[in-house]
Chains A and B, each alone.
Chain A
């Protein structure tokens, strides 16, 4: 049973370009969470999605950031017109249901904006 798969593992973008980060949850999991981690800090919640629905996006910046989890395919975190401050590790987690259970994390995508 494959774990949470994120790709790419490393992504380099120039300022102003778009970044697309992909997350495939564990098999049977329908709940996806995106977190951002700056160096030497804890993970910060960004958004919580179920299939075709955004449940909680209270941690998403108001501009340039968007997320989706379509009926088919992976969840996508999209950052438009990237700036240097977007450089971070972005982690995706998935869980089988919404109740208090363990969330499994992927290995993350390390975004570097140059």
Chain B
């Protein structure tokens, strides 16, 4: 079913540390996953994506890991910076086109 979160989990990290944000998805048929970053008052911004035929993908300072066995997705941010502070959502692509099902989100707070 859909994810609904009344109180988003919060991850607080020190500037320069690595961050790991986790996400569980529900549909084993989903074959495409995306991480989005959303800053206050703005729309979701694409960070990185991964297809189900992969278990790891790296971008600039970010890595996404996919474990299909336990239906788990994680986003790793290296050397976290204050500008990384935002809400992070995982999304799974189900069905036709680019219809996305979003997770509840995690607030990342970076302490200087």
Residues of A in contact (CB 8 Å), total 27
A101 to B103 Cα, complex, angstroms = 18
A105 at the interface (CB under 8 A from B): yes
**Cβ of B6 < 8 Å from any Cβ of A?**
yes
A95-114 vs B, Cβ < 8 Å mask (1 yes, 0 no): 10010111111111000000
Q: Is A48 an interface residue (CB 8 A)?
A: yes
**B101 contacts A106, CB within 8 Å?**
no
Contacting residues, chain A, for B34 (C-beta < 8 A)? 102-103
* Given A31-B97, A98-B96, A104-B46, CB of A44 within 8 Å of CB of B51: no
Chain A contacts for B8, CB-based, 8 A: 40
A65 within 8 A of partner (CB): no
Partner of B95, one of A6, A44, A56: A56
Give B residues with C-beta under 8 Å from A. 2-8, 31-32, 34, 36, 41-46, 49, 51, 89, 91, 93, 95-105
Distance in angstroms between the alpha carbons of A31 and B3 in the assembled complex = 25
Residues of A within 8 A of B41 (CB): 107
Closest A residue to B52 by CB, please name it.
A100
* Chain B interface mostly: loop
Task: Report if A72 contacts B (CB, 8 A).
Answer: no
User: Once the chains bind, are A100 and B44 in contact (CB under 8 Å)?
Assistant: no
- Closest residue of chain B to A40, judged by CB? B8
B3 / chain A contacts, CB cutoff of 8 Å:
42
Q: Does A33 contact B (CB under 8 A)?
A: yes
Contacts of A98 in B (CB 8 A): 96-98
CA distance A70 to B97 in the complex (A): 19
Give A41 to B101 CA distance when docked, in angstroms: 12
List A contacts of B99 (CB < 8 A). Answer: 33, 45, 48, 56
The answer for the CA separation of A44 and B42 in the assembled complex, in Å, is: 16
Residues in chain B near residue A102, CB distance under 8 A: 34, 46, 49
Would A56 and B89 be within 8 Å (CB), given that A41-B4, A44-B2, A105-B43 are in contact?
Answer: no
List of A residues within 8 angstroms of B105 by Cβ = 40-42
Given contacts A91-B44, A102-B49, A104-B46, contact A43 B100 (CB under 8 A): yes
